[in-house]
Amino acid sequence: MEIKMKRVIIFSSFLLIFATLFLLVISVFINSLKVNPKVLEQSVKLLLGLATILTLTWTIFSYFHTKKLEYTSKDRREWRSSLRKVLITLRENDLEKGGKRHQKCKSIVLANLNPLPSDNSIDKKVLDIFKNDTSISKQVSALENLLKFDWERAKLATGFRSNKLKSLEIELKNNIK
């Protein structure tokens, strides 16, 4: 998150510098037209004020975007943590299929996934595996793939590599059988 804030500050600074240079060019142009110095001064102040407002607006927008991203990241982290606990429970040797602890794990997974996923999503495949009484090893494998996909999605959320995320999703969906 700190990197994003640094980018915002750098971009805002460049925006302010650009606006100032633009004002200088405008003032030279107006000066060549032999405009009254008071009018020129007022024009420069007005343009500088507009540049400041624009920079402030951009900074506020970026701040709220960053806060939203932080909230989403925190929520995903907690979601992954709860699914990891389920995964640990499913891997325990004393867990019998259809038992009380197994049903609790299934309920947690079903509650944590989108109940109306698209037809070809990883969530749908995992939901199908947990709804239909397949083996615990398949459930563990599906949950591992889901966590892997979400972890990669979280890492890629900071960049613009959606093609890599799409190929990873296809690969992981093929792993879930």
Quote the CA–CA distance of 23 and 153 in Å, as a whole number.
Answer: 43
- Confidence (pLDDT) at 119: 66
Is pTM beyond 0.95? Reply is no
pLDDT digits (tens, 9 = 90+) for 154-164: 777 666 555 66
CB-based burial of residue 125 (10 Å sphere; 0-12 exposed, 13-18 middle, 19+ buried)? buried
Q: CB within 8 A of 123, min separation 6: which ones? A: 113, 114, 117, 146
Quote the CA–CA distance of 60 and 106 in Å, as a whole number.
Answer: 43
Rounded to the nearest 5 degrees, what angle is found at the Cα of 175, between the Cα atoms of 157 and 158? 5
Tell me the H-state helices in 33-176: 37-91, 100-112, 122-131, 136-156, 162-175
H or E element: which one contains 2?
helix 2-32
Quote the CA–CA distance of 140 and 117 in Å, as a whole number.
Answer: 20
Domain ranges (residues) in the chain: 2-69, 92-175
- Confidence (pLDDT) at 25: 78
- Confidence (pLDDT) at 65: 80
Q: CB atoms < 10 A from the CB of 119, how many?
A: 5
The residue type found at 54 is L
Quote the CA–CA distance of 138 and 135 in Å, as a whole number.
Answer: 5
- Confidence (pLDDT) at 170: 66
- Confidence (pLDDT) at 96: 63
Tokens at 93, concatenated? 């040797």
pLDDT digits (tens, 9 = 90+) for 70-93: 877 788 888 888 888 888 887 775
Which regions of the chain are under pLDDT 70? 1-5, 27, 30-31, 33, 35, 93-98, 117, 119-120, 133-134, 157-177
